[in-house]
Amino acid sequence: MKILNVVGARPNFVKMGPIMEALKSRPDSFEPILVHTGQHYDRALSDDFFRDLELPRPDIELNVGSGSHAQQTGQVMMLFEETCLEVKPDLVLVVGDVNSTLACSIAAKKLGINVAHVEAGLRCGNRSMAEEINRLCTDSISDYLFTPDPMAGENLLKEGIDKERIHFVGNVMIDSLFKYKEKADSLDYKSKLGLSNKEYGLVTLHRASNVDDASVLEGILGALREISDELPLILPIHPRTKKMVETYGLEKYLEYGDNVRGVWTAPPLGYLEFLHVMAGARLVLTDSGGIQEETTALGVPCLTLRNDTERPITCIQGTNSVVGTDSAVIVAAAKQVLGSSLAAKEPPEKWDGKTANRIVDVLSNSSTVAR
């Protein structure tokens, strides 16, 4: 089975690494071809992820780059259509919910090529989010829907998806986390900063709804500053966030230099460095979807700086709480976490590091791969 495996943004790399490894372990059955659309085009950051996750260099690079949602999606569709016509794959496998996920799914289906969507069925109910539209549209046309948890499968059934197309396989991001955690633990990044486990917090902040609005961004930064009076916070600052902080003149909330204090800004981290820091944190504050899952697997308390989540399993069975963007609520939630003891929790079902093999098992046993 010739499979085009699509990555477009850095979170996709974390999910695709284990899948590529599982496909390549069965050379008699699969010919995996890695396609990088170039949706995230920072070469240095992308190279870090490829190195850390031991991903092969992409067989095909589309080099799409930035643009509006429509421009980026349309450009990926045009270039990926050409790729499909040239390669003639039996299947296109997409992961996550970025523009490349939707674009490659549509291009493939218009050519009569089957599509497999890994991380299907996630819903937050907020259709103002571009990612929610990408999820809904991709799932509606996919032939294989690989879900990370039972709640995702229930969402798909409610939307009228045939249950025969739905496969509960678990969370492939956790495959990467378990595989590389020991290697990440061996790094000395924390010790170089003079930090010990549970003596600091970690922050990620990048969503447009949080960083493009001056009042929302200032409220979040003000809350982080107050929390940092009790617990120093490390903020590996996203280029978009850095730009908006400077645009709105909010540098006063952040700390720079060599000493970790206040809300201390660091450059973006590679996958292993980030996992190293996240696993040792006392608290994580984030607006990222994947980090909600990773903290659940690690047992690290997480506060999600959004009003909704497409990963409710992390709140029900994990360590995650959705707290919104009101500064007083964020501070109160953080103080509650810091004032309580850590309680061990079992990870959700099938978050065991074996998801990629389950995906490949389904594809191996399928008789519906012909276009």
Question: 307: number of CA atoms within 13 Å, CB side?
Answer: 10
50, 57 contact by CB (below 8 A): yes
Read off the pLDDT of each residue in 31-51 and give the average, rounded to a whole number: 79
Confidence at residue 370, expressed as pLDDT on a 0 to 100 scale: 41
Confidence at residue 353, expressed as pLDDT on a 0 to 100 scale: 97
Residue that has been written with the tokens 């999910």 in this structure: 15
77, 8 contact by CB (below 8 A): no
Domains and CATH numbers, the chain: 2-170+351-365 (3.40.50.2000), 181-338 (3.40.50.2000)
Confidence at residue 42, expressed as pLDDT on a 0 to 100 scale: 63
Q: Average model confidence (pLDDT) for the chain?
A: 94
With 90 as the cut, is the pLDDT of residue 34 above it? yes
Choose between 348 and 45: higher pLDDT: 348
- pLDDT tier at 55, thresholds 50, 70, 90: confident
Is the pTM higher than 0.85?
A: yes
With 80 as the cut, is the pLDDT of residue 344 above it? no
Given 40, 69, 206, 238, the catalytic residue: 206
Confidence at residue 45, expressed as pLDDT on a 0 to 100 scale: 59
With 60 as the cut, is the pLDDT of residue 357 above it? yes
pLDDT in tens, 188-239: 999 999 999 999 999 999 999 999 999 999 999 999 999 999 999 999 998 8
pLDDT in tens, 288-303: 999 999 999 999 999 9
pLDDT more than 90, % of the chain: 84
With 70 as the cut, is the pLDDT of residue 371 above it? no
238 annotated active-site: no
With 70 as the cut, is the pLDDT of residue 276 above it? yes
Confidence at residue 98, expressed as pLDDT on a 0 to 100 scale: 93
Is residue 36 helix, strand or coil? Answer: strand
Q: In 260-290, which positions are buried (b, 16+ CB within 10 angstroms) versus exposed (e)? A: bebbbbbebbbbbbbbbbbbbbbbbbbbbbb
Confidence at residue 345, expressed as pLDDT on a 0 to 100 scale: 82
With 80 as the cut, is the pLDDT of residue 309 above it? yes
283, 231 contact by CB (below 8 A): yes
With 50 as the cut, is the pLDDT of residue 7 above it? yes
Distance CA(3)–CA(6), nearest Å, equals 9
Distance CA(172)–CA(266), nearest Å, equals 28
Confidence at residue 159, expressed as pLDDT on a 0 to 100 scale: 97
Read off the pLDDT of each residue in 20-33 and give the average, rounded to a whole number: 97
Q: Report strand pairing: 201-204 vs 233-236.
A: parallel
DSSP 123-158: --S-TTSHHHHHHHHHHHH-SEEEESSHHHHHHHHH
Confidence at residue 40, expressed as pLDDT on a 0 to 100 scale: 67
Distance CA(357)–CA(244), nearest Å, equals 41
pLDDT in tens, 98-148: 999 999 999 999 999 999 999 999 999 999 999 999 999 999 999 999 999
Q: Give the CA distances from residue 150 to residues 119, 126, 250, 315, in Å, rounded to whole numbers and listed in that order.
A: 12, 20, 42, 14
pLDDT in tens, 241-263: 999 999 999 999 999 988 899 99
Confidence at residue 337, expressed as pLDDT on a 0 to 100 scale: 96
- pLDDT tier at 10, thresholds 50, 70, 90: confident
With 70 as the cut, is the pLDDT of residue 46 above it? no
